[in-house]
Homo-oligomer: A and B are copies of this chain.
Amino acid sequence: MRIGIIGVGTVGSGVVEIIEQKRDEFHAKFGVLLEIAGVVAKTEEELAPFKAKGYKGFTDAMAILEDESISVICELAGGYDLPFKWITKALENGKHVVTANKALLAKHGSEIFPLAGQKKCHVLFEAAVGGGIPIIRSLQESLLGSNVESLSCIINGTCNYILTRMVAEGLSFEAVLADAQKLGFAEADPSFDIDGIDSAHKTAILASLCSGRFVNFENIHITGIREIAAQDIQFVQELGGVVRLLGIYNRVGDKVDARVHPCIVPSEHLLASVKYVLNAVYLQCDNLGPTLQTGAGAGKLPTASAVVADLVSLARSIETGQREPLPMGWFQKENSADLVPIGETSTRCYFRFVTKDNYGVLAKITGILGENQISIESILQKNTHNKGKVDIVVTTAKAKESSIQAALAKINALPEISEKSRMIRFLE
């Protein structure tokens, strides 16, 4: 199987390495030959080491997209517009596609998958979500005997690294972020990760696979982790939990509840054991019960390893046999999931109210919560600040999000409240 690789940065060069390592093994075992027909990079400089090893290198992707001898394109460049053009062109030319680009699939999947269906081409993307976790193949094949009722995932290594260190070391968000940037665990501009965008891309893809309907990531609620303070981490620990940024999917009758926000996970829950840059996907299925898969979420070789497994699977489907592509044509806007608006969801909640003076303020807060049909489960009051500021931590029974937001707006407007109140939802 002749492969064209577009993008030979971290992941792309890892794919070349692993193919070199294991090509003979794959040939002996499966009778398939993974042949790198050409690599594409932006500059001749990037191409040089590959050309030195005898590979054909191009700075124009068209050279491989128009090469009829090439049957599969590996898109590992990242970004939106160019990859979308390349993949569209590849499919139009009848080439199969393997990609690790979750942002692209979240944004343009609804155009890519129907085109692939029309052209009877495979589009494989195991590496796009949780590189070291074979969750895509699990959802597409291994778990077919069950319906996924709900999914909770830790799917962004940067956020999980920051939150884990905040718990372990009692540091502030800002301090850990700065250190994570120094150590290479966070980007110079970390907003894509810490604001939950990356998690939302992946959650949208997973929610689509779980529901069999297109879940548009633009329509799902996203809250990142910027507003999680060291005090919150500590209070949550006292309540027997840890904070994790979760991607969430719930099947609610015919509707889909999909969102990304920080969650309080009980310490004994498996997701609480998923630390630092590890990713994890926790599923609750009707027939199968609960299941968790955890592993590396990113990194050169874990991601490349997933790409290579897709290439072998593809080669087995098109070289030594003819297996139909997995039907993904349903992944399109016309088949959009009916999303439950965030305001209609219900969760147990943690609030932290910072008050100037607690004389009478607790009565006002609990009064407002009561007016909004929010039942209180526990109250914890601590003078953890200087200058007479008091933290009041309230946990609630399950309450409707719209009521929670209404109560928060009223409470934030109280003259006794000295900074924006914090709210974190509990994992169901």
Mark A residues whose CB is within 8 Å of B: 14, 18, 22, 26, 29-31, 126, 132-134, 137-138, 141-146, 212, 268, 270, 272-274, 285-296, 299, 301-302, 304-309, 312-313, 316-317, 320-324, 327
Contacts and interface: CB of A to CB of B under 8 A. Distances in A.
Given A289-B296, A317-B321, A134 B145 contact: no
B317 A145 contact: no
Contact of A322 (B31, B295, B322): B322
Given A126-B142, A137-B137, A288-B296, A323 B316 contact: yes
A318 to B, nearest CB: 10
A137 B140 CA distance: 12
A170 B419 CA distance: 47
Contacts of A18: 145, 287
Contact of A145 (B291, B292, B299, B304): B304
Given A291-B296, A295-B288, A144 B323 contact: no
A316 B324 contact: yes
23 contacts: A18-B287, A22-B144, A26-B144, A29-B212, A31-B324, A132-B289, A134-B138, A137-B141, A137-B142, A144-B308, A144-B312, A144-B313, A268-B273, A287-B304, A287-B305, A289-B295, A291-B294, A291-B296, A292-B292, A292-B295, A293-B293, A321-B322, A322-B323
A293 B296 contact: no
Given A141-B309, A288-B302, 15 more contacts: A26-B144, A141-B313, A144-B308, A144-B312, A145-B306, A146-B301, A270-B270, A288-B301, A290-B296, A292-B292, A292-B295, A293-B294, A317-B321, A320-B324, A323-B323
A287 B273 contact: no
Of the listed residues A133, A274, A291, A317, the one surrounded by the most CB atoms of chain B closer than 10 A to its CB is A291
Q: How many copies does the complex hold?
A: 2
B270 A305 contact: no
Nearest to A136: B142
Nearest to A307: B145
A323 to B, nearest CB: 4
A299 B293 contact: no
Given A322-B322, A323-B321, A323-B323, A145 B305 contact: yes
Contacts of A22: 144-145
B295 A291 contact: yes
A325 to B, nearest CB: 10
Return the 8 tightest CB-CB contacts between A and B, nearest first.
A134-B142, A145-B305, A291-B295, A145-B308, A321-B323, A287-B301, A323-B323, A287-B305
A17 to B, nearest CB: 9
A294 B289 CA distance: 11
Contacts of A312: 141, 144-145
Contacts of A144: 22, 26, 308-309, 312-313
Contacts of A301: 146, 286-289
A285 B29 CA distance: 19
Of the listed residues A30, A126, A285, A292, the one surrounded by the most CB atoms of chain B closer than 10 A to its CB is A292
A321 B326 CA distance: 12
A285 B273 contact: no
A280 to B, nearest CB: 8
Contacts of A29: 212, 327
A251 to B, nearest CB: 14
Contacts of A327: 29-30
Nearest to A272: B273
Contacts of A137: 137-138, 141-142
Contacts of A212: 29
A305 B285 contact: yes
Contacts of A292: 292-295
